[in-house]
């Protein structure tokens, strides 16, 4: 089935997620073995739309193809599924990312979670963080916070998701003075991670979402680092320190956090996500922000 994609995502943070869930619902309603997503030339999309779509397609059992002539989608490597850092020498990867130094976005990165690729993963994370920082000339205090936020989410994917791949994409908006970053996986969800614990009592996605965001660890090891507290620290740094927005979707549970709202929601079955998505809107002009104030 041919599905036309007309999305024009405005500056409202959640519009991207709403749009991609609508599109996924249309794909799920198709009984065809193959669907073709036809992107209109004048579409405007955000990380919270384009990255979840790519991750969904990569894990779909049916064949889904893209059709577009939009240069932006081509430049961010959407059609090819993103850059796979382990397939490139670091010098080649560095040269490739240099091409984005004058852009306001980074390409989609499709990184491996296997421990044997830890060097390649660290290199790409460092390169991505430096690229984002240099593109918009971030203040050093904001750069330190940005690195913590990205690395904490990636660590959670590696340690808990059971996903073979993780994905990251970011876009800056210089006129608005903020950037949007989305990080996603198609793993076992927060609930699946809790269910691996001994004596687990969490049985639904909403309870798992609340547990993760209230600081209950998914590690059942005495003395082990509590990744739940890492999520709590990240949110506090982003929302209280930088006045940003935080979104997490896992299974059918959605969590929203900003300075004016904190909300947990159960989504319809059509919106159930196999894995976890974390998206952040990060204002990047804040002279008073000090990353150390938020590290526990």
From 15-19, 238-242, 277-281, the region with the lowest mean pLDDT: 15-19
Is 155 inside a domain boundary?
A: yes
Longest dimension (CA), the chain: 54
CATH number of the domain that 145 lies in? 3.30.565.10
Between β-strands 109-112 and 165-173, what pairing exists: parallel, antiparallel or unpaired? antiparallel
Show contacts of 258-265: CB within 8 Å, 24+ apart: 264/206, 264/209, 264/210
For position 227, what pLDDT does the model report?
Answer: 42
Residues 266, 250: contact at Cβ < 8 Å? no
pLDDT band, residue 250 (cuts 50/70/90): very high
Establish if 274 belongs to a structural domain.
yes
Question: Measured between alpha carbons, how far is 222 from 92 in angstroms, rounded to an integer?
Answer: 42
Residue 99 lies in a domain: yes
The pLDDT > 90 percentage for the chain reads: 50
* Contact between residue 232 and residue 214 where contact means Cβ atoms under 8 Å apart: yes
Question: Predicted confidence band at 259 (pLDDT cuts at 50, 70, 90)?
Answer: very high
User: 278 with 247: CB under 8 angstroms?
Assistant: yes
Q: Going edge to edge, which strands form the sheet with 273-283?
A: 109-112, 165-173, 178-185, 273-283, 245-251, 253-257, 262-266
Q: What is the mean pLDDT of residues 41-66?
A: 90
β 63-67/2-5 pair status:
unpaired
**Tally of structural domains, the chain:** 1
Would you place residue 49 in the very low, low, confident or very high pLDDT band (cuts 50, 70, 90)?
very high
Mean pLDDT score of the chain: 88
CA 212 to chain centre: 16
* Residue 130 belongs to some domain of the structure: yes
Predicted confidence (pLDDT) at residue 226 exceeds the cutoff of 60: no
Domain assignment present for 141: yes
Q: What is the pLDDT of residue 215?
A: 73
Q: What is the mean pLDDT of residues 98-113?
A: 91
> What pLDDT is recorded for position 182?
96
Whether the pLDDT of residue 186 is over 80: the answer is yes
Q: Is 203 exposed, middle or buried (0-12, 13-18, 19+ CB in 10 A)?
A: exposed
Query: Residue 7 falls within a domain, yes or no?
Result: no
Reported as a pLDDT band with limits 50, 70 and 90, residue 228 is very low
Q: How far apart are CA 75 and CA 120, in angstroms?
A: 22
Give me the domain span that covers residue 276. Answer: 81-294
Q: For position 244, what pLDDT does the model report?
A: 95
Burial grade of 249 (CB within 10 A; 0-12, 13-18, 19 or more): buried
Determine the pLDDT at residue 101: 87
At residue 129 the predicted structure's pLDDT band, cuts being 50, 70 and 90, is confident
Neighbours of 26 (CB within 10 A): 15
Tell me, yes or no, whether 11 lies in a domain: no
CB atoms within 10 A of CB 174: 12
> Is 2 inside a domain boundary?
no
């Amino acid at each position: 089935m041919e599905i036309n994609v007309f999305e024009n995502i405005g500056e409202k943070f959640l519009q991207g997620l709403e749009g991609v869930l609508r599109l996924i619902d249309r794909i799920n309603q198709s009984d065809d073995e193959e669907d073709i997503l036809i992107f209109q030339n004048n579409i405007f999309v955000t990380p919270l739309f384009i990255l979840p779509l790519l991750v969904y397609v990569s894990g779909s059992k049916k064949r889904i193809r893209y059709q577009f002539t939009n240069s932006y989608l081509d430049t961010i490597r959407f059609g090819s599924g993103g850059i796979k850092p382990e397939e490139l020498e670091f010098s080649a990867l560095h040269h490739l990312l240099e091409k984005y130094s004058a852009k306001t976005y980074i390409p989609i990165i499709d990184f491996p979670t296997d421990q044997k690729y830890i060097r390649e993963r660290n290199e790409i994370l460092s390169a991505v963080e430096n690229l984002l920082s240099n593109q918009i000339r971030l203040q050093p205090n904001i750069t330190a916070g940005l690195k913590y936020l990205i690395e904490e989410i990636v660590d959670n994917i590696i340690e808990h998701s059971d996903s073979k791949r993780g994905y990251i994409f970011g876009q800056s908006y210089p006129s608005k003075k903020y950037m949007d970053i989305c990080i996603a996986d198609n793993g076992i969800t927060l609930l699946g991670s809790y269910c691996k614990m001994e004596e687990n009592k969490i049985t639904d996605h909403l309870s798992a979402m609340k547990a993760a965001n209230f600081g209950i660890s998914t590690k059942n090891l005495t003395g082990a680092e509590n990744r739940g507290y890492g999520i709590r620290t990240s949110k506090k740094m982003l929302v209280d320190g930088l006045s940003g927005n935080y979104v997490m979707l896992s299974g059918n549970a959605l969590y929203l956090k900003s300075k004016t709202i904190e909300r947990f929601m159960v989504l319809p079955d059509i919106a159930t996500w196999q894995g976890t998505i974390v998206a952040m809107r990060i204002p990047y002009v804040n002279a008073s922000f000090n990353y150390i104030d938020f590290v526990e």
